[in-house]
């Protein structure tokens, strides 16, 4: 079963392909979803990656704090969205 991973503090220039490549060295990536602002369409600096449980745990441990584009990534298991 795939695990959803939160990827925060991304440089605004990051692409889905870049993020996929970063995570693929730890296992097969099911999906990459970078979040854009609904009104402006600009990147919001975070996204989500889905990958297999064991591979996800390895990726979280290895990539949390890694610097990309001058920014230290914040990587953790995604939590369910809170209701408003």
Q: What is the pLDDT of residue 83?
A: 85
Q: What is the pLDDT of residues 7-31, one digit of tens each?
A: 999 999 999 999 999 999 999 999 9
Give residue 80's pLDDT band: very low, low, confident or very high (50, 70, 90): confident
pTM: 0.92
Residue/partner pairs of 19-23 with CB below 8 Å, 24 or more apart = 19/47, 19/49, 20/49, 22/63, 22/68, 23/49, 23/51, 23/59, 23/63
Q: What is the pLDDT of residue 59?
A: 97
Q: In which element (H, E) is residue 18 found?
A: helix 16-24
Give residue 81's pLDDT band: very low, low, confident or very high (50, 70, 90): confident
Structure tokens belonging to residue 66: 């890694």
Q: Measured between alpha carbons, how far is 46 from 33 in angstroms, rounded to an integer?
A: 9
Give residue 36's pLDDT band: very low, low, confident or very high (50, 70, 90): very high
Structure tokens belonging to residue 57: 């745990």
Give domain 2-77's CATH number out of 3.30.360.10, 3.30.70.330, 3.40.50.300, 2.60.120.10: 3.30.70.330
């Amino acid at each position: 079963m795939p695990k959803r991973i939160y990827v925060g503090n991304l440089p605004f220039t990051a692409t889905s392909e870049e993020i996929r490549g970063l995570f693929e060295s730890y296992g097969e990536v099911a999906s990459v979803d970078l979040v854009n602002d609904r009104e402006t369409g600009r990147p919001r600096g975070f996204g989500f990656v889905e990958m297999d449980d064991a591979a996800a745990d390895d990726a979280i441990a290895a990539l949390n704090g890694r610097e990309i584009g001058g920014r230290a990534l914040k990587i953790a298991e995604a939590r369910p969205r809170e209701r408003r």
